[in-house]
A = this chain, B = another copy of it.
């Protein structure tokens, strides 16, 4: 039951992070992480990319127009913002991960996986940098990998649906 009728329709639709080079980030979030690209919006000075996991939505069978609408009909969407030019600007020093000063605030996004060991072995094989492997530190049931901009991506075992 939703808390109140007023918020009954609300969904936590997406999280937006800025990326330096969309080619590199899209390759990471589609090929390594496994999301589908639902929408790409050129806004002039910047382009927005919306990605999400396909859990039966069958994005591959949808038209571009339907996918564009569908991105606002679910939770778990990732929005990447590319400010044009950063990918080739030698003076651009990169974005803050949010995990150290200056700029501390945002922490990470997290992906649940059915098998943490298998998922991490695959990330290793694909050459993904780790911030923390499962065996590092005290918390053995989580890992942190780094996306191409240095944002932290937690990897954690998913719970069975209750």
Q: Which residues in A have some Cβ–Cβ distance to B below 8 Å?
A: 1-4, 6-18, 30-31, 33-36, 52-55, 57-58, 60, 62, 66, 69-79, 81, 95-98, 102-115, 119, 122, 149, 151, 154, 156-162
Contacts and interface: CB of A to CB of B under 8 A. Distances in A.
A100 to B, nearest CB: 9
Contacts of A66: 162
A11 B102 contact: no
B12 A76 contact: yes
Given A12-B77, A98-B106, 13 more contacts: A2-B53, A10-B53, A13-B76, A16-B109, A18-B105, A72-B157, A72-B158, A73-B112, A75-B75, A79-B110, A95-B105, A96-B98, A105-B149
A51 to B, nearest CB: 9
Contacts of A106: 16-18, 96, 98, 105-106
A39 to B, nearest CB: 11
Nearest to A70: B162
Contacts of A17: 105-107
A107 B79 contact: yes
